[in-house]
Amino acid sequence: MKFVDEYRDPTLLRQQLTLLRQLATRRWVVMDVCGGQTHSLLRHGLEEALDDCLDLVHGPGCPVCVTPAEVIDDAVALAFRPNVVLTSFGDMLRVPGRSGSLLQARAAGANVRTVYSPADAVCMAEKEPNVQFVFFGVGFETTAPATALAVLQARQLGLTNFSVLAHHVRVEPAMRALLELPDNRIQGFLAAGHVCTVTGFAHYSQLVDEFQIPIVVTGFEPLDLLNGLIECVRLLEAGSPGLRNEYVRSARPEGNPHARRLMDSVYQVSTIPWRGFGLIREGGLTMRSNLAEFDARQQFELAASTLSNEGDCRSGDVMAGRIKPSECPLFGKACTPDSPVGAPMVSSEGTCAAYFRYAKPVEICHD
């Protein structure tokens, strides 16, 4: 596959890995804020290969993990309503709310359908006008344009049976919130390449200046990740924080104006709760009031989302980079992918699940 295979070339990967190891003179603490990057680092063995060289921590980059349990409860409740079909990305199906997951709800008779794209939910709504379709819209700014487009398409088509239960989150405020923590130890950021493809990254220079920290826009393939880390380490070694783009083929400083226009016409920036974190200032997107007929919260009279205590789950500490999943007392014992205590163990992109899957110790004899 073009623009995929080249970035997995073993020779280039080994070359860049060697270069990175040569460059790093200290075990710098670098954070990624994207579940996809976490997944890729672990799956391709990069994290393990760099363990003695860098301290890679994984931030709240999994939108599935930061969706409050109460919002999942709202989705489950809607799915049980007569004449309502709840459509969702597959990612959300296994994540438990306070009273079970969407998958469990489906087994109990709730009407839940997986879709690959919100546009598919709009098509379904068009074909089945007597059924109310709700799309469960989670995700960062990468996904928000898609759900915004779905709303606008539904409006153009004159649909009266389509709405979105939205809980979109914004990455940059979360990065700021992490940097503002008194015990913050993050020294460099890999910025989420696909979020930046939409939002651009010029505005990250504020964070760079304010916190004197390098931020490198990074992609997802192993070679992209290595290039991002190399650039980040270069800046750290030189003591000169800066903003760099190592995902040039996709991310531009101004982002995609069409995508941003779609988002702006449907959503407004707001302060919303993140599971495991609490309220993040301007950390989310909620639907504009002039589109109330497409807002499931308005249509079905749901209360605004809140947060409750989640007992022993230390997802907040994990996502802030304070502890590695393996340092959580529940990890691998009371909390496993089959019996998760918190969201990061359920979602395939959750840090805890990724650690459980890929980072179990393996005794290796290198050839």
Q: What are phi and psi of 247, to 5 degrees?
A: -135, 50
Give all strands (DSSP E) within 127-277, no chain letters. Answer: 132-139, 162-169, 188-192, 215-218, 243-245, 267-274
Query: Per-residue DSSP letters for 135-162?
Result: EEEEESTTTHHHHHHHHHHHHHTT-SSE
Q: How many residues of this chain interact with another protein, rule: CB under 8 A? A: 94
By CB under 8 A, residue 112 contacts another protein? no
By CB under 8 A, residue 189 contacts another protein? no
Count CA atoms within 13 Å of residue 226 on its CB side: 26
By CB under 8 A, residue 267 contacts another protein? no
Which region, judged by CB under 8 A, interacts with another protein, from 52-60, 173-181, 222-230, 296-304? 222-230
Count CA atoms within 13 Å of residue 113 on its CB side: 16
287 Cβ neighbours under 8 A, 6+ residues apart: 151, 164, 166, 266, 267, 268, 294, 295, 297, 298
Cβ closest to another protein, residue 7 vs residue 28: 7
Among 118, 188, 321, 344, binds another protein (CB under 8 A): 118
Going by DSSP bridges, is the β-strand pair 55-58/215-218 parallel, antiparallel, or unpaired?
unpaired
Question: Residue 223 Cβ, how far from another protein at the closest point, in Å?
Answer: 8
* Site map (CB under 8 A) of another protein, residues 53-92, x = contact: --------xxxx------------------------xxx-
Residues 291-320 that bind another protein (CB under 8 A): none
By CB under 8 A, residue 345 contacts another protein? no
Helix (H) or strand (E) holding 282: strand 278-287
d(CA 271, CA 337): 30
Among 197, 218, 305, 351, binds another protein (CB under 8 A): 197
By CB under 8 A, residue 248 contacts another protein? yes
Question: Residue 359 Cβ, how far from another protein at the closest point, in Å?
Answer: 8
* Site map (CB under 8 A) of another protein, residues 16-55, x = contact: xx-x--------------xxx-----xxxxx-xx------
